[in-house]
Amino acid sequence: PVFLVVMPPRLSVTLVGLSGAWSGGHGRLQLKTLGFSAPTDGAFFHSIRSTSGGRIFLLSGAPQIYELCYSSTEGWFRSKCRLVRHSVGLGSWHPGHPGRLRIMTISPQGHLFICDDHGTLRLCLATDLGGAASGSTLQELAVLSAAKLAEQVRAVISGSLSSKTLAHLFSSISADGHLQLDACTAAGERLHFVCSVGDNRGRKYGFWLQRLSSGDPSGAARPMRRTTCLEEHPQPSCATPGGSLWLCAAVRPSGATAADLAVSLRLDRLPGDFLGGRSKETLEMQGLLSFDAPILDIAPEQIQGNSQRFAVMLTDRVEVINILPQAPATQQAPQTAAECCNYLCSLTSKMPGSSYEWFWTLDDVRLPTFEEQRRAQLLQQNVPSIIVGRWPRALLRFLASRRELWTQSLVLTPEAYSVNVSSILGVCKRRRCTSPPVLAVSEATAKKFVEELVPVIRFVQEGLASDTTQVPVPCSAAARSQLYVNRSCEGAAEPAKQRVKRAMLQLVEVMERLRQLLSFVEILYKSGCVQSVLQHSLLQEPKSTSGVEALQAPTAASILLSTKLRDLVWSHRMWPVVQLCNALILEVVRRQDAGEARSAETTCRELQEQCPAIFSEIDVRRCTKDASRPAVISVLQRYAAAKSPSEAVEGLRNLAAEDAAAGAQLCADKIAALPSDAVLDHARDLVAALLDAIRLEELPELSKVLELFLQRTGSWRSGDKSQAAPVVHAMVVDHLLSTPRLHGLLDVMVSTSNAVAWAEILQQRANKSRMAAELLWRYHQQRGQVRPEWAQLQRLVETTQFYSLKDRIRYLRLSQERKTGADADALALRLSSAEKLQLPLFHELQEVASETSHEERRMAAKKCCHDLNQLQGIRELFEVAGDFGLGHLQLAIAGFSGAKMAHDVVATLWVSLLFPRTESLYSEKQAPSSPRELFPLLMLRPHQEFFLSKQEVAAKPTAGPEPKLLRRRMLTFLRELREVAPDNHTLWEARCVGTLLEFSNCLWLQNCEAPQSPGFGREGDASAGSPLINETCLWVATEVLSQEPFNMSLADLVTFYAEMISNLHVWHKQLQEIVPAYLRAKPWLWPSEEDVHLHLSQVATVVLAGWLREAERLCNSSGFEKAEHHFAQVWRRSADGLLAGLYLRLNGSKHAAAQRLLVEVLRLEKSCRLLLEQVVYLGPET
């Protein structure tokens, strides 16, 4: 057999043949050059994959996939071997637009799995349209972003991946015919996905993570950071279908002369072993094989029995290893409420890796079925409203097992150990207890319960935070069918799950309040002043009330003595505990003043970290009032959230509204009176009150008032040492920037005031405020600072927010006017790109976003318009235009870039202009089957211009299509294209442009004119008065090819049309393949080869007649020797063969117009031969 080998060096991609012959156990391989080569245009390919149908795909680190297309012969529009670039995803306008593609694999069914630098996985299908000679069509089936993958990983292992870089991809087909994908990260973690569900009639694609295995302990795969996606991963790896067996090679750290091969075998468990809808973890068996040489590649061989064979290629030999899997082990997951409760109890002492990590789930929460309700009624039992499931019942069991803590009070008296607690309420209502109270919860008990509650609360919170109602797709076909077909059962259980989840969230809040209460008890014991706190007078005060209610309100001590812990934490009213916390802080402050206890800062920090709900409600003002040492007061003030008094702010606002100068003076005095360690909110409130109240009548006068205010407050500093500039200056500028009403005042101040370091303070805010950025530019401009002004203009152009595309073009034009030299030329080129390319593209997409009825396309256009408000490069503009099928803009962008393009690329661009590959976005409002839909980009666009910045709305089309409409629209397009594409660009390829335009003209005329028109009738005689030549057929030759930039003479036109007609059978067939299927399906008259030949014969006849007249004139003038020699050369090279071919084909045609045209062809041939007889020197035979 002969195999194709792809060899991608730097400059080209080459296909060579590989054949071999074997005899007597020996073989010989031969490489044969086939003549298939395509230029890479600078792309360096690092990954090559092929399908079973002969499709070859390559990756080069670009956001696109390259396909190597090849055919046995070279065509008119395409080369024998060429590279075709496919865009991946929904386009650059989509949020999931791919980054640089890194790795790729292909399934046996032709599905492509691709991973980019963003960590996004994509599943595409390569559709084979017409063999390897024509390019494929890539259809995106599913996308899995890195964020979605992280969510699936958390749902499976309650953790995250050690490495987010995917290093290897392996695809396979499962036993039930569904797609599977196995991926390996750079840290050796292995992920198994199911990628399709359903049958062939209703198959759904996606990425559903089924299991995840951690990295091998041998260190064969270590986390690494890829510096570029162009490098190939240095660690060969291999996996069997389904990912049950992995092999990964790694060079030993000691040196590069040896390598280790890590083998990881997954042992599957019994089917149907699920917990919470997630498959139970499988057992991993791992081993290590050592080799004395580096491993180059690993390839699987055929499975023999229970063993799996792999061929390992070393630098000097190939070795084969056999792996025999072992029998699986079993370990049951918790299935009942009791088992789940035991698991919750073990979370405190659980060591990482000591047992399986099970997950909180509500998969078994449901409403009782009809049979369960009927059985309960027969047995005369109560029917439960909801079956809460094993994990919620396990949590209730866990809390019930600690009922001795829930049912006791927080504070007791010594007598309470022998008497009823309710008898103490009358004793301790308004006076101090006769016996000193004690805490009912010991320090050891509080510490123990806190250690138990913390992991349980975290476990339940993580479970409730995840989407527990979405069950991952199981592996078996039966389970998937039940999951995706029987939706009614799952929808019925949804309300029950929501109700149980809401109840569990409330229970978790109660548990969290209990944990904070017990943590407070721990802190109270650590302070060493338990008895002093419990006997503090603050606990004997009732809650703040007025009137008679104050006499009857219970005190904090009485509530603590009479209320059980469950009632204390069940509601949010924890005022008695807050009073206890106030008493603790007061006692700690008193003892710190006396030097007897630990610092108040330590106690406050512990309270804030461990019991924030309690500490946030303390009365800090009272605590600071009782403190005497400045250090203690400073500590407590840092925890206070006190603001400036509302009365002072209101008075300042009233004064500033009447007299701005007096208000500014009062505000400055108040700010100067603030201590240096005051909270910044005090000063900020005063500044906001002043600026919001002033009336904007005389802006210059107000500017002077504020300048005086800034001078007086410039020396004030707050306790924040990080403030470099004056704090009040920053506050004033920030408030002026954030209030649109004050922007005019700020503009005047920047122009006239010198009290603020405007350059520095505006520079710090230019990235977050458009007004600040523009004011900074005007500041430099008004002061004649040329270099800073130009630099700020560049920043305005490049900033990622605030500005529209027209604003950026205006700033770019100003920047160009202020720069000279090479920089000015670069700016001029960038300005031309923005005005002539990006702005027209922006206008096109704006209309799409406002007029199209296709929801996805409209949203895509809106997103793309948002991105196009920033200046984009040529490549980005080209890709966006291609994503939306705007072929006219693609041609303009390609011509403006000046890049040298291959013949295949030029042909593809011109074809996309005339025949877009997808349904045009301008076809929605057009009547069905209108001939204008033949060329939607030329006929249906609402503007006369194509890509000039100034576009006018075109006149409404007439009732019927005009035969000359295509000519007018095409000439307009070519005229505008010449303004952006230089005449010497490879885009102006006459062979491609002329052929496509002639075929398009023939197609248009055949669908516009009546079938009996001359030159287009199938049968019958033409009317007697009809002209011999249809004038509408001639404009391509006379107004396009003979003009700039082609500049063909009549002799060149004769040669061109002679070659075109002689190769008609070749390029006509190719055009039939190029025209998209949706256009071919329309009920239009598509010209046959005979129709196109008749059309070209008319053009060639006119060209020959003009060439003959010019030759006669030149031969009869002075200097005729040169003209005679040129005429003879053209005759022998093309004219003679052209006339002979026209005669033969027209003579065999049944068209009446062809017979009339044949007479003209015979006349021209006779005239040419008569002229040849007059020429003395016919020139050498060449």
* DSSP string across 494-509: HHHHHHHHHHHHHHHH
Can you tell me the distance from the alpha carbon of 184 to that of 248, in angstroms, rounded to the nearest whole number?
A: 10
> Tell me: the pLDDT tens digits for 665-719?
888 888 877 766 555 777 888 888 899 888 888 888 899 999 899 888 887 765 5
Contacts 24+ apart (CB under 8 A), 535-542: 535/432, 535/436, 535/437, 536/583, 536/586, 536/587, 538/579, 538/582, 538/583, 538/586, 539/576, 539/579, 539/580, 539/583, 540/430, 540/431, 540/432, 541/579
Beta-ladder partners of 556: none
Q: Please give the pLDDT value at position 885.
A: 85
* DSSP string across 423-476: GGTTTSSSS--SS--EESS-HHHHHHHHHHHHHHHHHHHHHHHS-TTSPPPPSS
pLDDT along the chain (1182 residues), means of 10: 65 79 63 78 81 84 84 78 76 57 86 89 76 65 91 87 86 84 85 85 86 59 42 62 68 61 61 38 65 78 66 80 54 73 77 52 80 77 78 86 81 58 40 66 87 87 65 47 45 66 86 87 86 83 60 77 82 76 82 69 80 73 60 51 53 81 84 67 84 88 90 71 69 90 91 86 87 90 87 85 86 83 81 90 86 77 88 88 87 89 85 80 58 82 72 51 86 91 90 93 82 40 53 90 92 93 89 76 82 92 91 77 82 89 86 86 89 63 45
Q: Are 29 and 43 in contact (CB under 8 A)?
A: no
> 60-81: b or e for each residue (b if 16 or more CB lie within 10 Å)?
bbbbbbbbbbbbeeebbbbbbb
The structure tokens listed for 516 are 């904070």
Q: Are 601 and 503 in contact (CB under 8 A)?
A: no
Can you tell me the distance from the alpha carbon of 279 to that of 1125, in angstroms, rounded to the nearest whole number?
A: 87
- Cis ω for the linkage preceding 384 (within 30 of 0): no
The structure tokens listed for 456 are 């349980």
Q: Please give the pLDDT value at position 250.
A: 67
Sign of CA dihedral 911, 917, 922, 923: positive
**CA-wise closest residue to 113 among 164, 173, 68:** 173
Task: Provide the residue type at 173 as one letter.
Answer: I
Can you tell me the distance from the alpha carbon of 883 to that of 871, in angstroms, rounded to the nearest whole number?
A: 18
Q: Are 197 and 266 in contact (CB under 8 A)?
A: no
In three-state form (DSSP H/G/I as H, E/B as E, the rest C), the secondary structure along 316-375 is: CCEEEEEECCCCCCCCCCCCCHHHHHHHHHCCCCCCCCCCCCCCCCCCCCECCCHHHHHH
Q: Please give the pLDDT value at position 486.
A: 44
> Tell me: the pLDDT tens digits for 617-637?
776 556 656 655 555 555 554
Sign of CA dihedral 98, 104, 106, 110: positive
Can you tell me the distance from the alpha carbon of 1123 to that of 1115, in angstroms, rounded to the nearest whole number?
A: 6
Q: Please give the pLDDT value at position 276.
A: 37
pTM: 0.59
Q: Please give the pLDDT value at position 650.
A: 72
Q: Please give the pLDDT value at position 628.
A: 55
**CA-wise closest residue to 572 among 528, 517, 624, 513:** 513
